[in-house]
Amino acid sequence: MQVTFLGTGGAVPTTRRNTSGLLVRRDGERFLFDCGEGTQRQMMRFSTGFAVSHVFLTHLHGDHVLGLPGLCQTLDFNDREEPLAIHTPPGTRRTVENLVGVT
């Protein structure tokens, strides 16, 4: 198992710390926990690639979810065919569907 901290900062990104994001690689799968703004840049910075199989959102604050529409758009532009499983807190599914639908 490999863990990559993509962002551990607060609600506002700084030049040294990004908003929330953590990537876990295990048995050929990649699990992304939270997807704050700038997560894609961090994924490029740390050469993790975008082949994420599951996204887990801990809660719906912007610094944990605002990178998700862009990530979904990137996956679409790269002709991804595999479904992306997005796991949300109870009662928030519709909100996340609307957020991802922005792309």
Report whether 87 contacts 55 (CB < 8 A): yes
**In 10 A of CB 16, how many CB atoms?**
6
Of 34, 63, 76, 79, the catalytic one is: 63
How long a stretch of residues is the chain? 103
| Local confidence band at 101 (pLDDT 50, 70, 90 cut-offs) | confident
Give dist(CA 49, CA 63) in Å, integer.
Answer: 21
76 is catalytic: no
Strand partners, 4: 23
Angle at 63 between CA 61 and CA 66, to 5 degrees: 90
Distance of CA 22 to the CA centre of its chain: 8
Condensed to tens digits (0 to 9), the pLDDT of residues 13-63 reads: 888 999 999 999 999 999 999 999 999 999 999 999 999 999 999 999 999
Domains (range + CATH), the chain: 2-100 (3.60.15.10)
State the chain's mean pLDDT as an integer: 95
- As a whole number, mean pLDDT of residues 80-92 equals 95
